[in-house]
Amino acid sequence: MKRFAGPLFCISLLLTSCAKGCGRDSQPPVARPPSAFTLSLAVVANGLAKPIGVYSAAGDDRLFIIEKAGRIRIVQPAGSDGAVLPEPFLDLTDRVESGANETGLLGVAFHPNYATTGTLYVNYTATVGGALETRISRFSVTANRNVVNAKTEKILLTVPQPFPNHNAGDLHFGPDGDLYIPLGDGGSGGDPNNNAQTMTTLLGKIMRIDVDARAGSPPDCVGGGAGGYTVPRTNPFIDGPGKSCDEIWALGLRNPWRSSFDRVTGDFYIADVGQEKWEEIDLQPAGDPGGENYGWRCYEGTHEYNAAGCESVENDTAPIFEYPHEGGHCSVIGGYVYRGARYPVLAGRYLFTDYCSGTFWDLAPNNAGGWTATPHTNLAAMGYTSFGQDAAGEIYVVNIENGTLYRVQADEPGAERRN
């Protein structure tokens, strides 16, 4: 999946991306024809305060909703009418800096063995001496499964943030049991310090660390004297202290706000927010050794942005899909591959949206080794901020403007839903 100099995509009512030459031998999953269904949203819960994240833990039927100011709220299962518990699962408002648009409590990941360990990991912004930083911390749940003890915080790493935007924020455990941490380029506009292409900073990268310290190398670019994890020896840039940051798994990202692993294939989808003109979806197939350069700031999508000092374009990894800002689009909100049972027509389709236009897309492999994306404009509304997936594989989305959590539904002509 190398980046090509010329246009790769045709933007139309039916958007088909990445011609046959862009495919990998490990792709595709089961090919899907263009969609012939209507997406809809069902209200699950409302009254949330600036919700920006939806998460779940393996084998747990609750949903965990991040509120920007620093709280995680619990939404009980659908059988409980989607009730939001009054007491927060975790309250970090005493240490979270959330004043700017892209700061706050930004992501959470539950340990793969959460039922046994009771540990979870969060990504939030804080200020120390007036300076902004990203923190990745571990917390432990109390004997009450609905409450986390905020005093159990163990800071694993800190990353100084030169500007208040482009903090990304998602966290995910991969199929390998390691924690993947996407970070934005540090903010401002145009990546003025070229952080995304600089290997001595974690900004503009995806990190991969082993929070169980099973083996590997000691922390490298942690900042702030933090630690408590190891770096897998198979990380692509591991070389010891003083050179490339060993934690780096991939580079060349501007603001990978939301990402996800396909729970069936293990493929890693990364939605990277663009600068001025283009939004992109990147894909790292399961089993990939890492080391991808997704091109920013040299490229915005497949289009040259600032190629000064950049290597040949053939060294970069092209997105599987991009779309322009025309039509009211402004910021891609990455989603999930549907693996639930309620809506079989969605099986294997990656769902995502745009923050400004509210257009939804479903993206699926086509029969030519590429991808076909179909827009759904009937749900248009500003403010969708994040998707989530429950233990059963059903997909949800939250809207920061109206404080509502929705379940994504698909209505297929002539078909019955599975309950």
Angle at 73 between CA 68 and CA 77, to 5 degrees: 135
Q: Is the pLDDT of residue 239 over 50?
A: yes
Contacts of 218 by beta carbon, 8 Å cutoff, 6+ apart: 227, 230, 231
Q: What does 16-56 look like in DSSP terms, one character per residue?
A: EES-GGG--TT--SS--PPP-SEEEEEEEE---SSEEEEE-
Q: What is the pLDDT of residue 22?
A: 38
Q: What does 344-382 look like in DSSP terms, one character per residue?
A: GGGTT-EEEEETTT--EEEEEE-TTSSEEEEEE-TT--T
Range scoring the smallest mean pLDDT among 22-31, 151-160, 230-239: 22-31
Q: What percent of the chain has pLDDT over 70?
A: 89
Residue 321: name the closest of 375, 367, 386 by CA. 375
Residue 104: name the closest of 400, 392, 328 by CA. 400
Asked if 197 and 181 touch (Cβ cutoff 8 Å), the reply is no
Q: What percent of the chain has pLDDT over 90?
A: 82
Confidence of residue 148 (pLDDT cuts 50, 70, 90): very high
What pLDDT, in 10s, does the model give residues 326-362? 999 999 999 999 999 999 999 999 999 999 999 999 9
Asked if 340 and 395 touch (Cβ cutoff 8 Å), the reply is yes
Task: Return d(Cα 286, Cα 297) in angstroms, integer.
Answer: 26
Task: Return d(Cα 351, Cα 83) in angstroms, integer.
Answer: 25
Task: Return d(Cα 259, Cα 182) in angstroms, integer.
Answer: 8
Q: What does 65-78 look like in DSSP terms, one character per residue?
A: EEETTTEEEEE--G
Neighbours of 307 (CB within 10 A): 12
Task: Return d(Cα 157, Cα 246) in angstroms, integer.
Answer: 13
Asked if 77 and 64 touch (Cβ cutoff 8 Å), the reply is no
Confidence of residue 297 (pLDDT cuts 50, 70, 90): very high
- DSSP β-bridge partners for residue 75: 63, 84
Task: Return d(Cα 117, Cα 398) in angstroms, integer.
Answer: 28
User: Long-range contacts: 357-361, Cβ < 8 Å, 24+?
Assistant: 357/327, 357/328, 357/329, 357/330, 357/382, 358/382, 358/383, 358/384, 359/327, 359/329, 360/39, 361/15, 361/321, 361/323
Confidence of residue 1 (pLDDT cuts 50, 70, 90): very low
Total count of residues recorded for the chain: 419
Fold (topology level) of 15-411? Neuraminidase (2.120.10)
- Across 58-70, b (16+ Cβ under 10 Å) vs e yields eeeebbbbbbbbb
Mean pLDDT across 131-141: 97
Range scoring the smallest mean pLDDT among 14-18, 36-40, 194-198, 246-250: 14-18
Q: What is the mean pLDDT of the chain?
A: 90
What pLDDT, in 10s, does the model give residues 11-38? 333 333 443 333 333 333 444 566 789 9
Residue 258: name the closest of 196, 207, 184, 320 by CA. 184
Query: To which H or E segment does residue 116 belong?
Result: helix 114-117
Ramachandran area for residue 197 (φ above 0: left; ψ -120 to 50: alpha; else beta): alpha
Handedness of CA 148, 383, 296, 189 (dihedral sign): negative
What pLDDT, in 10s, does the model give residues 98-124? 999 999 999 999 999 999 999 999 999
Please return the burial class of 367, using the count of CB atoms within 10 Å of its CB with bins 0-12, 13-18 and 19+: exposed
- Across 391-405, b (16+ Cβ under 10 Å) vs e yields eebbbbbbbbeebbb
Helical residues (DSSP H) of 159-221, grouped into ranges:
none
Q: What are the Cα distances from residue 353, in Å, to 97, 106, 204, 297?
A: 27, 18, 22, 23
Q: Is the pLDDT of residue 9 over 70?
A: no
Q: What is the pLDDT of residue 3?
A: 44
